[in-house]
């Protein structure tokens, strides 16, 4: 199995000269509302190196649109971002792990844990 990576292409945009802070990999730093270190400059998507996936970029953009244009300050919500490994068989995951559920919901008296095989997941479209 091989793996590679990507880096934000933020060199030579003049961001430093206007005061937009970037980390050592060139990702633009954003606060929890996607605002950069310059209050009039906002940023979403891979260039922020938060979770680099298409639906996440869309969700961040949606949250920012609400903040900027609907007067409804909205933080991106990363609680249920699905991820997939396009292997054979494929692997997918979404939501909290069993451990996280136990830690977050300590008041739960009973937690039912189910497991299903790859064939069942494929049939369910998961």
Check binding of 103 to ligand FAD (CB under 6 A): no
Check binding of 54 to ligand FAD (CB under 6 A): yes
Q: Which is nearer to ligand FAD, 33 or 101 (CB)?
A: 33
Question: Binders of ligand FAD among 29-48, rule CB under 6 A?
Answer: 45-47
Structure tokens at 40: 């009039």
Check binding of 9 to ligand FAD (CB under 6 A): yes
Min. distance of Cβ 115 from ligand FAD in angstroms? Answer: 25
Q: Which is nearer to ligand FAD, 51 or 101 (CB)?
A: 51
Check binding of 55 to ligand FAD (CB under 6 A): yes
Check binding of 53 to ligand FAD (CB under 6 A): yes
CA dist., res. 14 & res. 47, Å (int): 15
Q: What is the dihedral of CA 54, 22, 74, 69, to 10 degrees?
A: -90
**115 CA to centre of own chain:** 26
Q: Please name the residues in contact with 121: beta carbons below 8 A apart, sequence gap of 6 or more.
A: 92
Asked if 27 contacts 48 with a C-beta cutoff of 8 angstroms, the reply is yes
Check binding of 57 to ligand FAD (CB under 6 A): yes
H helix or E strand, kind and range, residue 92: strand 91-93
Min. distance of Cβ 9 from ligand FAD in angstroms? Answer: 5
Residues that bind ligand FAD (CB under 6 A): 6, 9, 13, 45-47, 52-55, 57
């Amino acid at each position: 199995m091989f793996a590679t990576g990507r880096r934000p292409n933020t060199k030579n945009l003049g961001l430093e000269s206007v005061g937009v802070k970037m980390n050592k990999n060139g990702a633009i730093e954003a606060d929890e509302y996607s605002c950069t270190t310059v209050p009039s400059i906002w940023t979403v998507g891979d260039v922020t190196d938060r979770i680099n996936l298409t639906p996440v970029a869309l969700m961040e953009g949606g949250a920012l649109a609400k903040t900027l244009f609907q007067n409804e300050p909205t933080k991106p919500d990363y609680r249920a971002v699905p991820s997939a490994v396009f292997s054979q068989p494929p692997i997918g995951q979404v939501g909290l792990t069993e451990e996280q559920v136990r830690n977050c919901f300590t008041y739960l008296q009973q937690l039912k844990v189910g497991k299903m095989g790859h064939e069942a997941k494929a049939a369910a479209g998961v």
